[in-house]
A and B are shown apart, each in its own frame.
Chain A
């Protein structure tokens, strides 16, 4: 006894489902059959020795419906769990809270006379006061352990980074304070010279900065997932016995015969066995004009069958499909990108050795001046303590955050903080053509007519529009749009329309008149004569990349529609602006050479490439990068995903595909190409702001270094925690307010 699940197509009402059940029950060997109209499913239990799934399906077919055997898809493996957001943010919030507590204890009491219970106050119980601070500091330093790990490894490599400076400063503060704490029983007044809060706040703020930077990092998984989503979940397989079976893609094999219907996506790279239809291959070429496929033609996994139906033989599956290679390209491109050198780390790389030198010199100097080892050590550590700016870690992320917000106000979505920093170094721009520089919608450029047919221009246009009424092909839409635009009167619809594959159509009206619309091949096949004058004019248009739709009546061609994909109105100006800013502009297109050449000429672009496949676009960009150029890629289609990922900055247009938007670093939401220039300006302003922030971060601390070194000792001043706190306060304030000032800038005058 076997039980099978089928999907039934064509059911409509309860009578239909009842009919299916009755029809199937007539098959000998069937013991039970239940049909669910709503889920379109039928469950059948039958004796395998007497009948089979194929015969049951045949019964359903005889009843006037279609049965498709369903194999239950395997449970998809659950995606790996990402580290909980709480774990990351929880530690940060805890360390900030503890630091604030510590700050209250130390500064709050000392400066502002904030109340403290007697058992905690420095005046009454200095030891408790000190040890409490120590514990709090230790906790915060422990939470920020990764900073120490990173800083010390960098130091060992002799390439000190920002974390090295943090480790140096906070450890110096802690050790110095700890020594003082141990000496407290002998001299309780030392309690005023503790720097525990310094150690904690430096670590906490730098951790905060790093967390903000993590949030600004580009999420790349989305692009891969979106590309994988181009494949359908199941495929309709035609078995040898003629039974249709719906299988998950994982169960397909090379050589299987597939049936794909209008509106569905092609499940694998395959060759057409029979049938015909139009396939949207924009994922490969960027062109959404459907390509006509018939017996013998190849179709690509992930492409959409926009019209007709195809029976195909599977040639390449899964990993071997063109789509998978596009996905691999995107993954590779994302992995190979080296992280950009951060300004803060570069400065620290110089600052750390400089500070160590100054501390050493200062200590030695005071030794020579006879102040004793204790004093020298105090000077040494003081310099280290004050030298670590706590606002350093916030300089970059605050500027990036405000810059991102500023961009958002101008319709520029920044998906990657790093790209915002890189964009100002761009010296080359590569544009995709279709949909990016052009509108992506074909429009009639010229409607040429034979001289003697000129008088009937409006009438012919009206008839052509009526003939194309039911077609949704982009070329038909262009003709209909022209008719609407020119105000051509509505013409009665043809009684019969015969389609000739991708070549054109013949419309016939009741009163006997007819109109043939199609390409040159259709004309020769139908024996239509083409006058030389028309042919020449058409050829001129074709050389500029136009698609030609001829109009013929009674065996003679009367006219031709030259249809092009027009450039966006702001394209020329945007390209000119970029070139004016010293950026060389290139054009890459999957479209034909004449079309690309024509567009390039109109835009004033000299470097261009046509008929480019998605992977080839990345080679072009890598070639430029090998010449040490910093490249921004602007595109909108699925076929741009690999190049958007491999360019230094990937820029997608808001009206484009989801995949392009997920692969890009910057998305121009209002689709204006001027946004590219604005994005570059935004980057310049942001990077300038970062540099200013770093200046302010280091300024106050650097100012205090001489004080820490004992320069004011003759006047009685040495470094005190108060001074340290003041430096922390001023530097943080200035960094934050300077970052916020970026938000008030304007990006351009439109």
Chain B
């Protein structure tokens, strides 16, 4: 399980954007707006997820 802290997540709209982007890449993510975290399965390529979140305009840092 990889968990990323995502700065810049603000509202439900941001969550929807992340969901849409992940779905397009056929990846599944658990998004927590209150904690501002995004968690993915361990099999998922961490750098790819970072790239995706950066493309979305957020500032992700890997916590785990």
Nearest-neighbour CB distance to chain A for B26, whole angstroms, equals 16
On whether the beta carbons of B57 and A23 are closer than 8 Å, the reply is yes
On whether the beta carbons of B13 and A13 are closer than 8 Å, the reply is yes
With a CB–CB cut-off of 8 A, which chain A residues contact B17?
19, 63-64
Residues 41-64 (chain B) with a chain A CB within 8 angstroms = 54-59
Q: Does A101 contact B (CB under 8 A)?
A: no
On whether the beta carbons of B55 and A63 are closer than 8 Å, the reply is yes
Nearest-neighbour CB distance to chain A for B19, whole angstroms, equals 10
What's the Cα separation between A21 and B54 when bound, in Å? Answer: 11
Residues 69-128 (chain A) with a chain B CB within 8 angstroms = none
On whether the beta carbons of B58 and A22 are closer than 8 Å, the reply is yes
Q: How would you classify the secondary structure of chain A's contact residues: helix, strand, loop or mixed?
A: helix
On whether the beta carbons of A64 and B8 are closer than 8 Å, the reply is no
Q: Does A603 contact B (CB under 8 A)?
A: no
Q: Which of A12, A13, A63 contacts B56 (CB 8 A)?
A: A63
Residues 28-75 (chain A) with a chain B CB within 8 angstroms = 59, 62-64
Per-residue 0/1 for B8-40: is the Cβ within 8 Å of any A Cβ (1 yes, 0 no)? 111101101100110000000000000000000
With a CB–CB cut-off of 8 A, which chain B residues contact A26?
54-55
Nearest-neighbour CB distance to chain A for B35, whole angstroms, equals 16
Name A21's closest neighbour in chain B (CB-CB).
B57
On whether the beta carbons of B10 and A14 are closer than 8 Å, the reply is yes
With a CB–CB cut-off of 8 A, which chain B residues contact A64?
16-17, 20-21, 56
Which among B11, B16, B55, B59 has the greatest number of chain A C-beta atoms within 10 A? B55
Interface size on B, residues (CB 8 A): 16
What's the Cα separation between A13 and B8 when bound, in Å? Answer: 11
On whether the beta carbons of A59 and B10 are closer than 8 Å, the reply is no
On whether the beta carbons of B55 and A12 are closer than 8 Å, the reply is no
What's the Cα separation between A489 and B59 when bound, in Å? Answer: 54
With a CB–CB cut-off of 8 A, which chain B residues contact A18?
8, 57
What's the Cα separation between A12 and B57 when bound, in Å? Answer: 14
Residues 5-25 (chain A) with a chain B CB within 8 angstroms = 12-16, 18-23
What's the Cα separation between A83 and B33 when bound, in Å? Answer: 65
Interface size on A, residues (CB 8 A): 16
Q: Which of B16, B20, B56 contacts A19 (CB 8 A)?
A: B56
Name A22's closest neighbour in chain B (CB-CB).
B57
On whether the beta carbons of B11 and A13 are closer than 8 Å, the reply is yes
What's the Cα separation between A21 and B17 when bound, in Å? Answer: 15
Q: Which of A15, A22, A23 contacts B14 (CB 8 A)?
A: A15
On whether A59 and B8 interact (CB within 8 A), knowing A15-B14, A64-B20, A64-B21, the answer reads no
With a CB–CB cut-off of 8 A, which chain A residues contact B9?
15
On whether A12 and B11 interact (CB within 8 A), knowing A64-B17, A64-B20, A64-B21, the answer reads yes
Nearest-neighbour CB distance to chain A for B4, whole angstroms, equals 15
What's the Cα separation between A36 and B48 when bound, in Å? Answer: 30
Q: Which of B11, B21, B58 contacts A62 (CB 8 A)?
A: B21
On whether the beta carbons of A19 and B58 are closer than 8 Å, the reply is yes
Nearest-neighbour CB distance to chain B for A535, whole angstroms, equals 47
Nearest-neighbour CB distance to chain A for B59, whole angstroms, equals 7
What's the Cα separation between A188 and B49 when bound, in Å? Answer: 113
On whether the beta carbons of B54 and A19 are closer than 8 Å, the reply is no
On whether the beta carbons of A62 and B10 are closer than 8 Å, the reply is no
What's the Cα separation between A353 and B42 when bound, in Å? Answer: 110
What's the Cα separation between A246 and B56 when bound, in Å? Answer: 24
What's the Cα separation between A14 and B8 when bound, in Å? Answer: 10
What's the Cα separation between A294 and B54 when bound, in Å? Answer: 39
What's the Cα separation between A21 and B8 when bound, in Å? Answer: 12
What's the Cα separation between A16 and B13 when bound, in Å? Answer: 8
Name A17's closest neighbour in chain B (CB-CB).
B57
With a CB–CB cut-off of 8 A, which chain B residues contact A21?
57
Name A23's closest neighbour in chain B (CB-CB).
B57
What's the Cα separation between A59 and B56 when bound, in Å? Answer: 9
Name B17's closest neighbour in chain A (CB-CB).
A64
Q: Which of A13, A22, A62 contacts B59 (CB 8 A)?
A: A22
On whether the beta carbons of B55 and A23 are closer than 8 Å, the reply is yes
Nearest-neighbour CB distance to chain A for B13, whole angstroms, equals 5
Name A26's closest neighbour in chain B (CB-CB).
B54
Name A20's closest neighbour in chain B (CB-CB).
B57
5 sampled A-B residue pairs with Cβ under 8 A? A22-B54, A23-B56, A26-B55, A63-B57, A64-B16
Lowest 3 A-B CB distances belong to which pairs? A19-B57, A15-B10, A64-B17
Residues of A within 8 A of B (CB): 12-16, 18-23, 26, 59, 62-64
Residues of B within 8 A of A (CB): 8-11, 13-14, 16-17, 20-21, 54-59
Known: A12-B11, A15-B14. 11 other contacts (CB 8 A): A16-B13, A16-B14, A19-B57, A22-B8, A22-B58, A23-B56, A26-B54, A59-B55, A63-B55, A64-B17, A64-B21
